[in-house]
Structure 1
Amino acid sequence: MGVLSWIVFGLIAGAIAKFIMPGKDPGGIIVTIIIGVLGGLLGGWLGSAVSGSGVSGFNLMSFVWAVIGSLILLIIYRLIFHRARA
């Protein structure tokens, strides 16, 4: 699965991650989209590293990895933002 697929997955995964972890985030929808896209890429990399053979195609496991990557980045983003704000 190419980078473009992970970007599309990331857009959807960012929305799902925001739904799972609601709250105020600086930057609004633009930052959520960026986190989702980067989370999709991170999820693709993690899925490839864990499974060994790589994650390919539009399937449920690929989507799960994209959401996991987005959640990881959203948590990191919130930790950094809240520390900088405090």
Structure 2
Amino acid sequence: MGFLIWLIIGGIVGWLASLVMRTDGQQGMLLNVVVGIVGAFLGGWLISPLVGVGTINSGNISIGSIVVSLVGAIILLAIVNLFRRGRVR
């Protein structure tokens, strides 16, 4: 059951990040899940030590972990946009 919740929350985080970065029309549901989960890893590596909150990948789902994962997903999409288009947007 935890794996299913992890995928659902990862998809929501990826979808919210794609809305913020205006890439929602280019991504499908699967890519939103991938962006959410990879963004959570990135957020856990960069942001989590600064604020002391885990991510959705650490197993505890809270508002703080969703925000850290969302910021990580936004950073991931900004990096992808930078390489694909030459600008962050």
Q: What TM-score bracket applies, with the shorter chain setting the length? A: 0.5 to 0.7
Structure 2: any 5+ residue segments left out of the alignment?
A: none
Q: How far does the alpha carbon of each residue in 1:1-59 deviate from its partner, in whole angstroms, 9 at most, with x for none?
A: xxx57655332211000111214775x2244432222001212333432245x526111
Q: What is the correspondence of 1:45-84 to structure 2 with a 5 Å cutoff? A: 45-52=45-52, 55=54, 57-83=60-86
Quick check: 2:39–2:72 contact (8 Å CA) kept in 1?
yes
Tell me how far 1:67 sits from its aligned partner. 0.3
Determine what percentage of the aligned residue pairs are the same residue.
31
Q: Number of paired residues? A: 79
Corresponding residue for residue 22 of structure 2: 22
TM-score (norm 1): 0.68
Aligned partners of 1:24 and 1:11: how far apart in 2? 12
Which residue identity lines up with residue 40 of structure 1 in the other structure?
A
Aligned partners of 1:51 and 1:63: how far apart in 2? 13
Tell me how far 1:69 sits from its aligned partner. 0.3
Structure number with greater CO (CA < 8 Å, separation at least 6) is: 1
Instruction: Please give the secondary structure, in 2, of the residue aligned with 1:22.
Output: coil
TM-score (norm 2): 0.66
Corresponding residue for residue 38 of structure 2: 38
Structure 1: any 5+ residue segments left out of the alignment?
A: none
Structure showing greater radius of gyration is 1
